[in-house]
Amino acid sequence: MSLFNQFNEVNEAGFWILTAFVLWMVVFATGLINKKHTGYFFPAVTITGCLALIAGILFSGKSTVNILVPLPFFLGEAGFDFTIDPLSKWFLAIIAITGIPITLFAPGYLHHLRNRTFPGFIWAGFSMLLLSMCGVVMSSNAIAFIVFWEMMALSSFSLVASDNEQRETRRASFIYLGATRIGTGFLMAGFLWAHSITGSWSFSAWGITGAAAIGPSILILIGLATKAGCWPFHLWLPIAHPAAPAPVSAIMSGVMIKTAIYTITRLFITGSHIEFKWLGIVLIVFGAISAFWGVIFALLQHDLKRLLAYHSVENIGIILMGLGVSATGAANNIPLLTQMGLAAALFHTLNHAIFKSLLFLGAGVIDARTHLRDIEKMGGLIHKMPWTAAAFTAGSAAICALPPLNGFASEWILYQSFFKLALNGPTAATRLTGVFLMAVLALIGALAIACFVKAVSVAFLGLPRTDNARRAREGTPQMTAAQVFLAVLCVVSGLGVPVLLNPLSQITAMTGTGSMIGNIWTIPVGILTIILLTTVAAIAIWMKKLSMKNPVKSYITWECGFGDLSPKTQYTATSFAQPISSIFGNIYRYALEVTTHGRQSRHFPETVEAETRYEAYLETKLYEPFLNWIKKFSGILLMKLQAGSIHQYLIYMAIALIILIRIGVVK
Amino acid sequence: MKNIFPLIFTVVNLLIIPLLLTGVIRKVKALMQNRIGAPVLQPFYDVAKFLSKSETISKNTSWVFTAAPIIGLSVAFLAGALFPWSGSFLPGKFAAASNIFLLIYLLALGKFFSMLAAMDTGSAFGGLGASREATISMMVEPIVITGLGALCLNAGTPNLQSAFAGNINPIIAGLTGTALIIASLAELSRIPVDDPTTHLELTMVHEAMILENSGRNLALIEYTTAIRSCIFYGLTTQVFFHMLPFTHSMNPILQYAAGIAGVLLFGCAVAFAEGILVKLKWRNVPNFLTFGTVLSLLAALIAVTQR
């Protein structure tokens, strides 16, 4: 087909999606020109872009849309060529519906950074991030994919680095940049390898099977795992996310890391462009470790955003477990299992995008209003910021998979797929894996509950622990609206599972055996929720009635007769997590040291100091020595290579030219 | 007409059996300690008394503290009605909902709010209780999922009603049942994990969490705990019934009567054990629960090799 595919041949869906791209490009350009502009121009145009994207998704209906962007937009070996099928649409929808509330939220948040960052610059990066994520999930060839992947990496890097006053933030953004380089490096190597096997850049022309698939698969999976933040490549995630401004953390944690999930699904599962024999077991093992690792490290954190970042590692792990089950089903020819695992993973991807961006926005409101990120310094915020508190609690309940919210819906389908694996797996070992996964997910679920009870109760409940927390106030109405919107989405997507199964079944039908997941959702969640709410309302009214007779008395919290309680006597986040942390203490050498001072220190101490410590072995024993070695080696190498002699440099150029001619790049 | 019995049974299950069970446990415990003890119906009087009193709430609290007991009781009602712990089965659409994974997360919903309420007062008692409750449920949930999961694998369906209606390998039933006993002792804060009669520093799990609750609020919590006990003891009883081949093919009314008798007998056994056992040190609780994990994993191992 000619590259001069005319725009008028592209149908309405393509038109709307290109409109979104153009609008975001406008924001990008004006943002870079007019860096200090703070009005409603940027958010309004960005939101319009998201709405245009939604219109595009709706107009495309069930059809698959192909767009070939005409010359002069061309990438040398391949064009910008887009395929918008149900899988792409699912991810486009995730980008659009989380993009809207985050954009709505951003102006209020950026206001508190007004003296430290350029809002126009952030908007430019943000709109470019949205655009490039859309590009990633639509690209149908490897070159366009890499181009958008790189735009995504660079725009998110510039956003992480935007508030770079603190040294810590600068360090975080360099670590993030390094991680994206490593990830892209592996991914490119994998793509090149796949290209050399198949001779094509287009994903749909790839059909790599057998032993040839092992090499490219491993490289591509490492590249994607780095982006997704899967163990053991997750290290950048809890460093970069807290450093970024809250709306950026929300979009990165909620949506950006999911592009890796998209790519795994696209290349390995729905299209079977690459058939990797051990994909199932690899994804299950690394998913399970990530999920467990993420949640136990989240329990140790006091920095609210870092805690949420570790939960992203956990949820990526949960999603990967679903994809792993799906791949196992495909390898063993159990189509229903393939589809259930895939549906659970993709549904959880949507749900995680909703509640994780909600939670990051909540952390953002607290940060904007109290300048606190350490939950040990918060407390009692529910009285000052009731809307944020309610929305954050709803988001926490959703991430803990409590019914009837959306986290429960996707984790329930995931449990069903594990059960199916345990029931119909071909060997006893596979079936045992299914049981094992159920136990692991139950453990992770309970740990997540512990972690979020800790976060919600220490941050929002009790008494304020510092003056900053005492002076807190609610965010702007737009910030509240954004959070309420996402909280409502948590409920809607939890109750509307049968509706959401329609697009999901279109995706699972892409695995080749027709859709089978139409009736996997058997819980009458609507009726049960109505019954539950009616009971709650009935008991509440009854209690109200009883309190007419015997009114509620307000009194102090019981302090054992010591006099008024200081906020310091409240349970801290560290103490809350201590029992669980010490059970898993061997994983990170957890230590609690209590020292008492003063004469008679045993019975009447003057001061008591308690300190908890932990050491993440993966960082201190593996990555640090490795990076130090690289630094040392490259230092020596650099000194030798860059000696400052022009003759030496000319020789380099000549050698490079000879090599290029020799391998046939320059003709 | 056929559906009327399950409905009546459900109402009885939710309104009478839970507090009766509490009364039986307290009575047997008193007898074990050579006391006469309060009448078996005392918990009913207690709840009525609490409801008629006024309540004192800490001024540090928010809506969470008031809402949590209400949510907890509603969730307990729903779970008590949905899950076949008494040997009687709800028909129709509700049958589809008696799924093991829903059971765990529904109970977790109640626990989530009760832990938040405990932290809401700003009291260190509440914090300590909530923290330990979270730790215990972290260890209990995998036991319950794996144990009941093994049983359901053997029956071939994740739906508890259908699983209980069919035949189950008696060895799996025995292992799962024993694992569930251990899990329910921890989950319901009974000896040897927690002592339900005190809130002193040595015990400090459930009772420490509810230290600030009084009056109506406390009545709701006591009731919730009673229903949760019924669910756990009842499910364990039903699992053990499957070791005896005839019990699950009886007339529904007889089956229900046997189920309730089983729950009450289980309560007696728990009270008896409380009379002769002491509470474990907190640090030894994980070791105790490991037995449960091992038993449920064994059950799962047998279940997967048998298919």
Pick the residue of B51, B61, B77, B119 with the most A CBs within 10 A to test the interface with A by mutation: B119
Q: Do A576 and B127 touch (CB under 8 A)?
A: yes
Residue (of A450, A436, A269, A454) closest to A345 by Cα position: A269
**A59 and A16 in contact (C-beta within 8 Å)?**
yes
Residue A292 has pLDDT above 50, yes or no: yes
pLDDT digits (tens, 9 = 90+) for A92-118: 999 999 999 999 999 999 988 888 888
Q: Do A422 and B212 touch (CB under 8 A)?
A: no
In the Cβ-directed half-sphere of B115, how many Cα atoms lie within 13 Å? 32
Please give the full DSSP string across A259-306, using - where no structure is assigned. HHHHHHIIIIIIS-SB--TTHHHHHHHHHHHHHHHHHHHHHH--BHHH
Query: Which residues in chain A touch residue B215, judged by CB atoms under 8 angstroms apart?
Result: 550
Residue B69 has pLDDT above 80, yes or no: yes
The mean pLDDT value for A465-477 works out to 92
Tokens of B201: 């520093």
Element (DSSP H or E) covering residue A639: helix A624-641
Query: Chain B: residue nearest A555 by CA?
Result: B58
**B204 and B128 in contact (C-beta within 8 Å)?**
yes
Residue B84 has pLDDT above 50, yes or no: yes
Q: Do B119 and A580 touch (CB under 8 A)?
A: no
Residue (of A393, A417, A394, A407) closest to A445 by Cα position: A407
The count of other CB atoms within 10 Å of the CB of residue B166 is 13
Q: Is A595 exposed, middle or buried (0-12, 13-18, 19+ CB in 10 A)?
A: exposed
Query: Which residues in chain A touch residue B103, judged by CB atoms under 8 angstroms apart?
Result: none
Of the candidates A379, A419, A443, which has its C-beta nearest B158's C-beta? A419
Q: Is B118 exposed, middle or buried (0-12, 13-18, 19+ CB in 10 A)?
A: buried
Residue (of A379, A309, A290) closest to B122 by Cα position: A379
Tokens of A398: 């959703």
pLDDT, averaged across chain A: 89
The mean pLDDT value for A583-601 works out to 81
Residue with tokens 């015990």: B203
Query: Any CB–CB contact under 8 A between B62 and chain A?
Result: yes
The mean pLDDT value for A365-384 works out to 92
C-alpha angle A490/A492/A497, rounded to 5°? 105
- The distance of B93 to chain A (nearest Cα, Å) reads 7
- The distance of A422 to chain B (nearest Cα, Å) reads 7
- The distance of A414 to chain B (nearest Cα, Å) reads 10
Which alpha helices (DSSP H) does chain B contain, by range? 4-15, 17-32, 42-52, 63-82, 93-96, 100-120, 124-155, 160-165, 170-187, 206-209, 215-241, 252-276, 285-306
Q: Do A556 and B59 touch (CB under 8 A)?
A: yes
pLDDT score recorded for residue A6: 45
- Considering A29-38, A284-293, A595-604, B182-191, the range whose residues carry the highest mean pLDDT is A284-293
The mean pLDDT value for A119-131 works out to 93
For the CA atoms of chain B, what is the radius of gyration? 19
Please state whether beta strands A591-597 and A81-84 pair in parallel, antiparallel, or not at all (unpaired).
Answer: unpaired
Query: Any CB–CB contact under 8 A between B154 and chain A?
Result: no
pLDDT score recorded for residue A616: 81
- A404 preceded by a cis bond (ω within 30 of 0): yes
Of the candidates B67, B99, B153, which has its C-beta nearest A422's C-beta? B153
Euclidean distance between CA atoms B156 and A265, whole angstroms: 30
Pick the residue of B112, B187, B223 with the most A CBs within 10 A to test the interface with A by mutation: B112
Euclidean distance between CA atoms B143 and A446, whole angstroms: 12
Q: DSSP character for A621?
A: I
The most distant pair of C-alpha atoms in chain B lies apart, rounded to whole Å, by 58
The mean pLDDT value for A465-478 works out to 92
Query: Chain B: residue nearest A296 by CA?
Result: B138
Q: Do A449 and B134 touch (CB under 8 A)?
A: yes
Query: Any CB–CB contact under 8 A between B141 and chain A?
Result: yes
Residue (of A99, A537, A480, A397) closest to B111 by Cα position: A397
Query: Chain A: residue nearest B156 by CA?
Result: A423
**A403 and A380 in contact (C-beta within 8 Å)?**
no
Q: What are the respective helix, strand and coil percentages of chain A, to the nearest 5? A: 70, 5, 25
Euclidean distance between CA atoms B189 and B196, whole angstroms: 6
Euclidean distance between CA atoms A447 and A442, whole angstroms: 9
Query: Any CB–CB contact under 8 A between B162 and chain A?
Result: no
pLDDT digits (tens, 9 = 90+) for B90-112: 877 788 888 999 999 999 999 99
Query: Any CB–CB contact under 8 A between B45 and chain A?
Result: no
- The distance of A402 to chain B (nearest Cα, Å) reads 6
Query: Which residues in chain A touch residue B109, judged by CB atoms under 8 angstroms apart?
Result: 397, 402-403
SS3 at position B11:
helix
C-alpha angle B246/B248/B253, rounded to 5°? 110
- The distance of B254 to chain A (nearest Cα, Å) reads 29
Query: Any CB–CB contact under 8 A between B51 and chain A?
Result: yes
Interface of B with A in 198-227 (CB under 8 A): 211-212, 215-216, 220
SS3 at position B143:
helix
**B196 and B207 in contact (C-beta within 8 Å)?**
yes
**A483 and A391 in contact (C-beta within 8 Å)?**
yes
| Residue A589 pLDDT class (50, 70, 90 cuts) | confident
**Residues in Cβ contact with A471 at an 8 Å cutoff, skipping those fewer than 6 apart:** A370
pLDDT digits (tens, 9 = 90+) for A328-366: 999 998 999 999 999 999 999 999 999 999 999 999 999
Distances (CA, A) of B175 to B104, B166, B242, B261, B300: 19, 18, 11, 22, 9
pLDDT score recorded for residue A484: 96
Q: Do A555 and B297 touch (CB under 8 A)?
A: no
Q: Do A535 and B78 touch (CB under 8 A)?
A: yes
Which alpha helices (DSSP H) does A140-257 contain, by range? 142-160, 167-198, 214-228, 237-243, 246-251
The mean pLDDT value for B33-56 works out to 92
In the Cβ-directed half-sphere of A278, how many Cα atoms lie within 13 Å? 9
Residue with tokens 């149900």: A86
Q: Give the residues across from A139 on adjacent strands.
A: A82
Tokens of A345: 């993973």
pLDDT score recorded for residue B249: 65
The residue ranking higher by pLDDT, A613 or B231, is B231
Residue A5 has pLDDT above 50, yes or no: no
Residue B258 has pLDDT above 50, yes or no: yes
Q: Is A61 exposed, middle or buried (0-12, 13-18, 19+ CB in 10 A)?
A: exposed
Residue A145 has pLDDT above 90, yes or no: yes
pLDDT digits (tens, 9 = 90+) for B220-247: 999 999 999 999 999 999 999 888 876 6
In this prediction the pTM is 0.94
SS3 at position A616:
coil
The count of other CB atoms within 10 Å of the CB of residue A597 is 10
Tokens of A169: 């933030």
Please state whether beta strands B56-58 and A81-84 pair in parallel, antiparallel, or not at all (unpaired).
Answer: unpaired
Of the candidates B70, B141, B286, which has its C-beta nearest A583's C-beta? B286
Q: Do B134 and A583 touch (CB under 8 A)?
A: no
Query: Which residues in chain A touch residue B149, judged by CB atoms under 8 angstroms apart?
Result: 419, 422, 435, 438-439
Q: What are phi and psi of A303, to 5 degrees?
A: -75, 120
Query: Any CB–CB contact under 8 A between B56 and chain A?
Result: yes
pLDDT score recorded for residue A198: 87
- The distance of A279 to chain B (nearest Cα, Å) reads 23
pLDDT digits (tens, 9 = 90+) for A309-331: 999 999 999 999 999 999 999 99
Residue A665 has pLDDT above 80, yes or no: no
Element (DSSP H or E) covering residue B57: strand B56-58
pLDDT score recorded for residue B2: 63
**Residues in Cβ contact with A544 at an 8 Å cutoff, skipping those fewer than 6 apart:** none
**A358 and A487 in contact (C-beta within 8 Å)?**
yes
**A347 and A410 in contact (C-beta within 8 Å)?**
yes
The mean pLDDT value for A438-447 works out to 95
Residue (of A78, A61, A68, A49) closest to A7 by Cα position: A68
Residue B50 has pLDDT above 50, yes or no: yes
pLDDT score recorded for residue A559: 79
Of the candidates B52, B105, B134, which has its C-beta nearest A403's C-beta? B105
**A381 and A487 in contact (C-beta within 8 Å)?**
no
Percent of chain A with pLDDT over 90: 57
Of the candidates B73, B97, B144, which has its C-beta nearest A528's C-beta? B97
- The distance of A494 to chain B (nearest Cα, Å) reads 13
Interface of B with A in 232-261 (CB under 8 A): none
- The distance of B31 to chain A (nearest Cα, Å) reads 33
Cα dihedral across residues A134, A140, A143, A145: positive or negative: positive
Residue with tokens 């245009």: A52
**Four-CA torsion B263, B265, B266, B272, nearest 10 degrees:** 150
Q: Do A402 and B105 touch (CB under 8 A)?
A: yes
pLDDT digits (tens, 9 = 90+) for A152-189: 999 999 999 988 888 889 999 999 999 999 999 999 99
Complex prediction ipTM: 0.95
Residue A3 has pLDDT above 50, yes or no: no
Query: Chain B: residue nearest A434 by CA?
Result: B304
**Residues in Cβ contact with A93 at an 8 Å cutoff, skipping those fewer than 6 apart:** A54, A57, A350, A503
Query: Which residues in chain A touch residue B122, judged by CB atoms under 8 angstroms apart?
Result: 379-380, 461-463, 557, 565, 567, 569-570
- The distance of B255 to chain A (nearest Cα, Å) reads 26
Q: Is A266 exposed, middle or buried (0-12, 13-18, 19+ CB in 10 A)?
A: buried
pLDDT score recorded for residue B194: 84
Beta strands in A408-539 (DSSP E): none
Residue (of A126, A226, A250, A241) closest to A178 by Cα position: A226
The count of other CB atoms within 10 Å of the CB of residue A209 is 11
Tokens of B164: 């209980």
pLDDT digits (tens, 9 = 90+) for B194-206: 887 776 665 678 8
Query: Which residues in chain B touch residue A535, judged by CB atoms under 8 angstroms apart?
Result: 73-74, 77-78
pLDDT digits (tens, 9 = 90+) for A216-269: 999 999 999 999 999 888 989 999 988 899 999 999 999 999 999 999 999 999
- The distance of B101 to chain A (nearest Cα, Å) reads 7
Q: Is A626 left (phi over 0), alpha (psi -120 to 50) or beta?
A: alpha
Q: DSSP character for A253?
A: I
pLDDT score recorded for residue A78: 77
Query: Which residues in chain B touch residue A576, judged by CB atoms under 8 angstroms apart?
Result: 119, 127, 130-131, 134
Q: Do A383 and B62 touch (CB under 8 A)?
A: yes
Please state whether beta strands A553-555 and A81-84 pair in parallel, antiparallel, or not at all (unpaired).
Answer: unpaired
- Kindly list the domain boundaries of chain B, sorted by start residue: 4-306
Query: Chain B: residue nearest A411 by CA?
Result: B101
Euclidean distance between CA atoms B178 and B124, whole angstroms: 35
Interface of B with A in 86-105 (CB under 8 A): 93-94, 96-97, 99, 101-102, 104-105
Query: Any CB–CB contact under 8 A between B305 and chain A?
Result: yes
Euclidean distance between CA atoms A187 and A216, whole angstroms: 9
pLDDT score recorded for residue A2: 39
Q: Do B112 and A449 touch (CB under 8 A)?
A: yes
Residue A10 has pLDDT above 60, yes or no: no
Residue B120 has pLDDT above 80, yes or no: yes
Q: Do B156 and A423 touch (CB under 8 A)?
A: yes
